[in-house]
Structure 1
Amino acid sequence: MEAHATLPPLRGRVQRDAPLGPATWFRVGGPADALVRPADVDDLLLLLRDLPDDVPLTVIGAASNMIVRDGGVTGVVVRLARGFGDIVVENDGIVAGAAALDVTVAETAAAHALGGLEFLVGIPGTIGGAVAMNAGAYGAEIKDVLDWAEVATPAGLLRLTAAELRFAYRRASLPTRAVVTRARLHATPGDAAVTAARLNEIRAAREATQPVRARTGGSTFKNPPGARKAWELIDAAGCRGLMHGAAQVSEKHCNFLLNTGGATAADIEALGEEVRARVRAASGIDLEWEIKRVGRPA
């Protein structure tokens, strides 16, 4: 696709055949036909308004919970960076740009003695991605703290409440071709020491139980309805440490897949499907992917 020929005159950076793999946490995947980093909200709105409907649009943030397939991504990939990372502290909450890292928002809130956002330190990724998938960890989800999110759409900028986003488990209902630009998260003024202690507790728990220093993509599968968590089902199906090429089910936390070095996106996805098949055979439960998989196979 001649993505450049279809793009309006943007002020941000536009790159043809842009490598995406190095930007993902798995460090795998092919290039984007066109990678656009809009300069600001107006630039993004122009892109969304004038991009032809038949040109596919993919949005990536920190690419921490994503597999980009080896053949790359058709159409236009939007990545929000500078211009979308501001964090503004208010008396009872934080307004954060979509490119702000979840961990930075948690740390900023804690530094200002604002409680209730500590769970974000346990979520790798950006605020935009967290809103788009109702990210959660350690007993809380975005839906619990979101006052509103601003989203850019082909028709203009909308401000949507948590109710309007119809949050469900690891899902939000965004308008078609919408891109989250910023969000307001409410917090509770409190004791800085207590907030900092909770932040450190979550950080330590994550370090102890998850392969945080590996090439991974976070939680691979959603927890199914019922009492048993995805990792328990995977473990019970004998998949801990299972390998496909250089992709491996983590020994430390078996709802994490790893690139042990030299894995392809196809290796990682095939390993995930093997895990799903073994869990289905052992328990009758169909695990649903939590990691977003985008693009073309090689």
Structure 2
Amino acid sequence: MIRQPDSQHAECAAPGSDSDRGFDGWVPSDVRGKLTEDAPLDKLVWFKSGGAADWLFEPADTDDLVSFLARLDEGTPVMALGLGSNLIVRDGGVPGVVVRLGKAFATVEVLRDQVVECGGGASGILVSSTARDAGIAGLEFLRGIPGTVGGFVRMNGGAYGREVADILVDCDVALHDGTLITVPVADLHYTYRHSNLPDGAIVVSARFKGTAGDPKVIGAEMDRIAQAREESQPLRSKTGGSTFKNPTGDKAWRLVDAAGCRGLKVGGAQVSEKHANFLINTGDATSADIETLGEEVRRRVSESQGVTLEWEIKRVGRW
């Protein structure tokens, strides 16, 4: 069984101070990866905004990660960071430790029976391209998810009619206390853009199963997905991907449009003119601008359309 988080909103930390730091100045002496104090995160997220992490840890490998986690104080907040494509880092920074999985976790290996084993830091493009080259169909939609395996396994990422729940066999997860476990897909209890992985748990690898296919046909489908994204989404802007979850039976972008929010601005943040379910940083937006704009959109949609939109983008850190 997977331990449950205390709250589904635990990742959105309250305003903090130095007391939020779990290390109290102490760093494990045998870390082989890179550990940085007061590390800026704005350059690591797609919105290009937000504060610093108290500590940023980039482990050398899985053993380095679990050893590090096992030595942390029990109450130290831990958060995994992938490509930062679906994330608002608040301007006050992130308390505790942010873990970023680097090249050692970006591997993809083809196993038998159309199974692909992927590191938690591997991108959706790399996974789908490797599957294509091996003649494995069913993973093409990962080409349309701008993130890493760790993130879209946690969130049951999906695009173009498919989601991770359709292809995941199991995943290896490092828990907050340094325990490494293998979790079968059934134990994640996937729902729309949600799993029951607890806060502080980090997906270090996962196995996806497809079906036998023709690499040319698979490649053509991946090209179609790439073209559809290019035509419909503001990919060349500082953005965070889909902002709100699609309500049952409807589309978030349609509701935002119907509420008259396309092009709406708060400070340097704007609702995209190209796709109304995307927020963009026009150049100098703070994370507060972006989050405030999102909340204003939610308010207007609720008042005019009678629907309360749920955030799909994760918001983390201190105000």
TM-score range, shorter chain: over 0.9
- Name the residue aligned to 1:5: 25
Residue pair 1:4, 1:16 contacting (<8 A) in 2 also: no
TM-score, scaled relative to structure 2: 0.90
Name segments (4+ residues, structure 1) moved above 4 Å. none
Identity of aligned residues (%): 52
CA RMSD of aligned residues (A): 1.2
TM value normalised by structure 1: 0.97
Give the SS at the match of 1:286: coil
Distance 2:222 2:185 in 1: 24
Once residues 296 and 30 of structure 1 are traced to their aligned partners in structure 2, the CA distance between those partners, rounded to angstroms, is 9
Matching residue within 261, 267, 272 for 1:245: 267
Q: Does 1:159 align with 2:179?
A: no
1:22 is aligned, of 29, 43, 55, to 43
Q: Which one of the candidate residues 111, 132, 141 is aligned to 1:110?
A: 132
Q: Deviations over 1:24-48 (max 9, x none)?
A: 0000011111101111111111122
Could you tell me which amino acid in structure 1 is paired with residue 218 of structure 2?
Answer: T
SS at match of 1:218: strand
How big is each residue's C-alpha offset from its partner over 1:120-162, in whole Å with a ceiling of 9 and x where there is no partner? Answer: 0000010000101000000000000000100012252111111
- Give 1:67's aligned residue: 88
Name 1:269's counterpart in structure 2: 291
Contact 1:6–1:52 (CA under 8 A) maintained in structure 2: no
Structure 1 portions without partners, runs of 5+: none
Whether 2:196 is the aligned partner of 1:211: answer no
- Out of 142, 145, 150, the position equivalent to 1:123 is 145
Does structure 2 conserve the Cα–Cα contact (< 8 Å) formed by 1:15 and 1:35? yes
TM-fit CA distance, 1:4 = 6.6
- Please give the per-residue CA displacement for 1:242-274, whole angstroms capped at 9, x wherever unaligned: 111111101111000000100100000000000
Cα pair 2:90 2:288 within 8 Å, conserved: yes
Return closer, same or farther for 1:164/1:43 CA change in 2, 3 Å cut-off.
same
Counterpart Cα distance in 2 of 1:237 and 1:287? 12
Contact 1:4 1:34 in 2 (8 A): no
**Aligned in 2, Cα 1:4/1:108: closer, same or farther, shift over 3 Å?**
farther
- Whole-angstrom distance in 1 between the partners of 2:27 and 2:195: 28
Alignment partner of 1:38 out of 44, 59, 71 = 59
Aligned pair count reads 296
CA–CA distance in structure 2, aligned partners of residues 175 and 247 of structure 1: 31
Residue by residue over 1:50-89, the C-alpha shift from the partner in whole angstroms, topping out at 9 and shown as x without a partner, is 2112221111111100000111111111111121111101
Pairing 1:140-159 to 2, within 5 Å after superposition: 140-153=162-175, 154=177, 156-159=179-182
Q: Deviations over 1:194-239 (max 9, x none)?
A: 10110101111111111111100000000112x2210000000000
CA contact (8 A) 2:115 2:207 kept: yes
Distance 2:203 2:173 in 1: 4
Does the CA contact (< 8 Å) of 2:68 and 2:178 recur in 1? no
Residue 286 (str. 1) matches residue 286 (str. 2): no
Match of 1:85 among 103, 106, 129: 106
Amino acid of the residue matched to residue 151 of structure 1? V
Q: Is the 8 A contact 2:141 2:162 kept in 1?
A: yes
Alignment of 1:169-180 (within 5 A): 169-180=192-203
User: SS state of the match for residue 198, structure 1?
Assistant: helix
| Residue 19 of structure 1, CA deviation | 0.5
Residue 93 (structure 1) shift: 1.9
